[in-house]
A and B are shown apart, each in its own frame.
Chain A
């Protein structure tokens, strides 16, 4: 299967600071990547769709100025949580879309964000 990495795997920060999470597709190019967040014992919630070379598309209720997404290349997308607050603490997971006969999402290992 395709490999997607995320960095960092875990981050603890103080309230008010910004945190950047990187998502890389290691063995294929991804025009489209996705960012999800997951709360304990819940399903994944799509936050935004990241498109290489264009602006990200955010889901309803997701603040685009708070969750900045940059799709710098065909293998890298970044999510920056700006002015983080404790309620932003969550498990953030990215996926990269490998296009073909069937478009398939491959997920990164996730990033655990804890805001103190």
Chain B
């Protein structure tokens, strides 16, 4: 069964680029990797999803190496409102596995 590992917390300043990496060995070969953002007392909000290489949307980029044993969420030019917990979600052997989350604190 895959285990996911994310940094517990990260600090950043407004305007900086933030990269959060999730390590996930042994994930399903044909499943996507998904990242979510969660604010306190709210449900997770979909950010981005990818299978391999690089995916970019209007809010983030996702980098996935060829071995798919990790993925990196990249948030360009963060603002105070990006302070939240970020989770990776993968599937392994039919089981959905959420990472423990990375608490990002953005300071002015």
A interface residues, Cβ below 8 angstroms from B = 1, 4, 6, 34, 42-44, 46, 91, 93, 95, 102-110, 112
Total A-B pairs in contact (CB under 8 Å)? 45
User: Which B17-64 residues have a C-beta within 8 angstroms of A?
Assistant: 32, 34, 36, 41-46, 49, 51
Contact B32 A93 (CB under 8 A): no
Which 4 pairs show the lowest CB-CB distances between chains A and B?
A107-B43, A102-B32, A110-B43, A107-B44
Q: How far apart are the CA atoms of A25 and B99 in the complex, in Å?
A: 24
Contact A110 B101 (CB under 8 A): no
> Can you list 9 A-B contacts (CB < 8 A)?
A1-B46, A4-B43, A43-B87, A43-B100, A95-B43, A104-B49, A107-B45, A110-B41, A110-B43
B interface residues, Cβ below 8 angstroms from A = 32, 34, 36, 41-46, 49, 51, 87, 89, 96, 98-101
> Which chain B residue lies CB-closest to A94?
B43
Kindly provide the distance from the CB of B38 to the nearest chain A CB, expressed in whole angstroms: 8
Interface of chain A: mostly helix, strand, loop or mixed:
strand
